[in-house]
Structure 1
Amino acid sequence: MSNHPSPPVPPSPVPSRSDVITRLRRAGCVFAEDEAELLIATAPTPDALAAMVARRVVGLPLEHVLGWAEFSGRRVAVDPGVFVPRRRTEFLVGEAIRLARRTGDGRGTVAVDLCCGSGAVGVALTAALAAVELHAADIEPAAVRCARRNVGAAGAVYEGDLFAPLPAGLRGRIDVLVANVPYVPTEEVGLLPPEARDHEPLVALDGGADGLDVLRRVTAEAPGWLAPGGHLLVETSERQAPQAVETFARSGLLPRVATCDELYATVIIGTRTG
């Protein structure tokens, strides 16, 4: 047996910025330069950077590789298998914040984030509002774990189907109810980018035959949970908006459509008038 110490293992070479960009471009990443900067800035070691680049080039969403997403000016954790918050949903948040600020009577705002995913919407609400009682829920266990990390002590996150896990004491008290429901028609899920259809939960994407199944379920129950003058906000597509408006009206909510051309976002807002 030799008594000579083993030679030290040389450190892994640091992947250069140009190498990272080249690999990302070859994998089809449209914004290779921007992604390279984020990966390099996030990776704690050269080995970690190499592993992150390898995960990205085989198709994992950038946010799952980084472990976070930028949303409404904040970083929120996004774990593997959790729906990645979309930039267009920042419009939904902005509309919810504007409405919440008009409800104040000294008691603060009671807000609920259904289909919360990572909890990004709820986090944005708590960051923007001076006083908010936040409740969030999702049916996906991985999403609930992620949302609890993001929301922390700022609110409560429940696991279950839509309204089912919410405390009964919220009935008739909710000022702002945001529901980022799935609204992709079943037959169109296969047309989504691979990052979404292969790595995000189907339950967060598939909205049924016409994409409005979950919206209908939320809208049917919402009036019983909203406070008088409270608002339900649901993101949908421009194509689906007319049918969604009819659904809101049938449920007794006063509907209107808000749009943002820059973010290509469409939000249906329904107000409880009684």
Structure 2
Amino acid sequence: MLAEVAQATQRLADAGVPSPRFDAEELAASVHGVKRGELHRVADADFDARYWAAVARREAREPLQHITGRAFFRYLELEVGPGVFVPRPETESVVGWAIDAVRAMDSAEPLIVDLCTGSAAIALALAQEVPRSRVFAVELDEGAYAWARRNVAGSRVTLEQGDALTAFPALDGQVDLVIANPPYIPLTEWEYVAPEARDHDPELALFSGEDGLDAIRGLERTAHRLLRPSGVVVIEHADTQGGLVPWIFTEDRGWADAADHPDLNNRPRFCTARREVP
């Protein structure tokens, strides 16, 4: 087993895969129906063409999660595949901040809206970790919505397909927290995007105008419409956009305390703001 994984690791490293050892082990675990920590139970003789076919797909920079059919996010295991944005570890710190903010609120049943939900990772994490919350999520893309619907089945998340800019008008002025991981990559950066994202994630989930901030500008108005006075918005952005996004949530547009926050790598990753009390 170790020799097979080592060979796969070298192939993935040569192909430029960022985490070759982890991916080689995760593919082996997925193919053989075990956890990564149980790979010692798999005999070398059991490594067959299925494993090397999976390695070849990853070698071609197909996302690991598309090959295994699953993505891990905080305490969740989600179904993902072609047509939906694969949740990233960076977003976990965004959700962590949101969870702490909601828990600190004086609300018996916090009302939360997740815009541009994708796989529903954010919505499900909030519903799981804030058990008293009421969570609503919206996704425009038909393919991504199908994955989200599978993931939220049996959960407390209310999911709708539609445009985030006009979503949930019945909740206007009532929401405690609005959260979003919108598209934020500038169109001019297309060639620099990792192949796993550029060639496999939906374009609708990636790119947003010349400076990457078009979607965030639109969601600022949506968040202001939905939030109650003193309600909070949390919105992810690229690390290169640190300092830019808080200027979208300005006092003259009804916001207070707009600020950027770092991710686990200490890079500016998300902006928060509070809806001003009239």
TM range (shorter): 0.7 to 0.9
Structure 1 segments of 4 or more deviating over 3 A? Answer: 44-48
TM-score normalised per structure 1: 0.87
Match of 1:28 in 2: 16
Residue type of the partner of 2:271?
I
Match of 1:142 in 2: 143
- Equivalent positions of 1:220-239 (< 5 A) are 220-239=221-240
Tell me whether 1:266 sits opposite 2:254 in the alignment.
no
- Equivalent positions of 1:48-67 (< 5 A) are 48-67=50-69
Q: 2:5 aligns with which of 7, 17, 33?
A: 17
CA distance in 1, matches of 2:259, 2:172: 23
Identity %: 33
1:265 shift after superposition: 4.2
- Equivalent positions of 1:155-194 (< 5 A) are 155-164=157-166, 166-194=167-195
Q: Deviations over 1:17-70 (max 9, x none)?
A: 344334323433242221111111111484543332222122201111111122
Residue type of the partner of 2:253?
S
CA distance in 2, matches of 1:146, 1:265: 29
- Equivalent positions of 1:244-263 (< 5 A) are 244-249=245-250, 250-254=252-256, 255-260=258-263, 262=265
CA distance in 2, matches of 1:209, 1:272: 28
Cα 1:261–1:29 change in 2 (3 A) is closer
Alignment check: 8 A CA contact 1:116 1:122 kept: yes
CA distance in 1, matches of 2:222, 2:18: 42
CA distance in 2, matches of 1:59, 1:81: 16
Alignment check: 8 A CA contact 1:88 1:264 kept: no
Residue type of the partner of 1:137?
V
CA distance in 2, matches of 1:175, 1:189: 35
Gaps of 5+ in 2: 34-47
Match of 2:196 in 1: 195
Alignment check: 8 A CA contact 2:93 2:263 kept: yes
Residue type of the partner of 1:96?
A
What SS class does the counterpart of residue 97 from structure 1 fall into? helix
CA distance in 1, matches of 2:143, 2:4: 34
Q: 2:156 aligns with which of 139, 151, 154?
A: 154
CA distance in 2, matches of 1:139, 1:110: 21
- Structure possessing the higher radius of gyration over alpha carbons: 1
Structure 1 residues 92-101 or 222-231, which shifts more? 222-231
1:74 shift after superposition: 2.4
Q: How many residues align?
A: 258
Match of 2:77 in 1: 75
